[in-house]
Amino acid sequence: MAEIFKTSTTYSSIMILLAFFLSLNWKFVISYQKDSKCPPKVGGCSSLECAFELFDASFFNNTKMLEIAEGARELNIPIMRANRELVAYEDGGLHYPSVLVFNPEWDTNNNDTKNLPKPIFAKRFKYPSSPTIQRPPDDEDIAFMTQATEADNLLAKGVYLGPLHGIPYGLKDIISVPQYKTTWGSTTFKNQILNIEAWVYKKLRSAGAVLVAKLVTGSLAYDDIWFGGRTRNPWNIEEFTTGSSAGPAASTSAGMVPFSIGSETAGSISYPAARCGVTALRPTFGTVGRTGVMSISESLDKLGPFCRSASDCAIILDTIRGKDPNDMSSKDIPFEDPFLVDITKLRVGYLDDADMEVVRVLAMKGVEMVPFELNYTVDSVQGILNFTMDVDMLAHFDQWQRSGYDDEYEAQDQWPTELGRARLIPAVDYVQAQRARGKLIREVEQSFRNVDAFIGNASDWEKVCVGNLVGLPLIVVPTGFKPISNFTSTYDVRRTAITTGVYAPPRKDHIVLALAMAYQSVTNHHKQRPPIDDLGTQST
């Protein structure tokens, strides 16, 4: 057995190559002259040498190619099929999570958390007290309130579960709740009911929050197209939300729910939040448990809240954070209380694309603001993210692709295209991408040596890739609204949201929350409401 695995390891980098070989006329390939050039196509399929070229492995001569192919056929394929039968017979990544756990922490020599007393991990934030709340005269005002005016029957019994007691909310429809459909936004799974109680749902329920809706996700958590259509932006219904957390962003923006839970692998919180003009938090990787959540990439997926304000985000984060016993990536992270952070002791950088109003406001409130550059030499951050995300996603939807369901996918230029390419990524190059990711983490860490956080565009694709690969927490903050430049009507109540992002090192979510709360304490952009009852097409 040891010899089998030794030989298999030799061929591990081209395991997936055998998908080509199975469709070839094997006897023809084996009997072909060893020293000849690339054989002609067989049965419409690429030749052996051309197949090796797809893996950038054409340095082998024909003799070695044939030997590798024969050995891999005998050894690799049985192992691949056995593993697939064990763990890949169900789609979605809800069963048998990978034991390879991503760690975004920078100070790997710091063992302070091991010596901390246990109570610090359970210490909750101290929320500011709210003034007496009365029912507003306008029903629309109720939809945009931050606290409930009535609680459920528990309050009558003297039971109070906290600031979320009786508060309605929505979950992105990749988060499972028993007895309700969890469609993943996909035609393939549109009638799926999972008897799994997601960890984040249990945390919110125990805090008294009331789930009122499963909210639209882009199909298999990719962009804003799903089997029912495409999600629009409440601030401008002529455009779409972008990002797979489309439902949470749009619903929170339109006042349909006071908060919602979305997810991000590569921009699915930051993009729709920026488009819909809401405040949203992408926490440090591992902050929120993911049991019961459809998986794209176990080293990239994160859950986070869409809210009206940064203070609401802090309350929601405090409720849903903590160690999920069934998610090996989750942690009890001892955040400082964002409501108690002294921002005058912070040094914050700002990039060239930062919203300068935010810079001025924070400076006015005593924050030391300095010009900043995010420096790193890795020039393939998008490639690293794609290799990581696509290979991981394919592992979770291997059966889906093999069964041909990708043909009925809602947007053929999205997952079907990317997962097709993922079949041709050798194992060795997936590992090399992770090594390059490690280099990126070390370089970004160096950039943060002189600042506690930085301000910059929240939806710039390069920063989306870097932030997710490195594990940076980000809060998206509305900073204004502007007229729609290409709107044809002379009557324009619709707007384009302007936002910026506050970024911090991993495990420093309290800093981004504190800075965003400081900015919102003297501005009201986050309180603006889209004209939900006015299509904005009336002429004057």
- Cα 115 to Cα 118, 120, 319, 342, 473, distances in angstroms: 9, 11, 24, 25, 25
Residue with tokens 């709210």: 130
Catalytic residue numbers, as ranges: 172, 244, 268
- Return d(Cα 416, Cα 362) in angstroms, integer: 45
- Return d(Cα 424, Cα 242) in angstroms, integer: 28
**Residues forming a β-bridge with 279:** 307
**Residues forming a β-bridge with 305:** 261
Contact 277, 235 (CB under 8 A): yes
Enumerate helices (H) and strands (E) in the chain, giving the number of each. 20, 14
- Cα 431 to Cα 12, 46, 388, 471, distances in angstroms: 11, 27, 9, 18
Contact 284, 251 (CB under 8 A): no
- Return d(Cα 203, Cα 164) in angstroms, integer: 11
Phi-psi category of 480—alpha, beta or left, where left has phi over 0 and alpha has psi -120 to 50? Answer: left
Joined tokens for residue 242: 């972008």
Q: Which residues fall within 8 angstroms of residue 113, CB to CB, at 6 or more apart?
A: 334
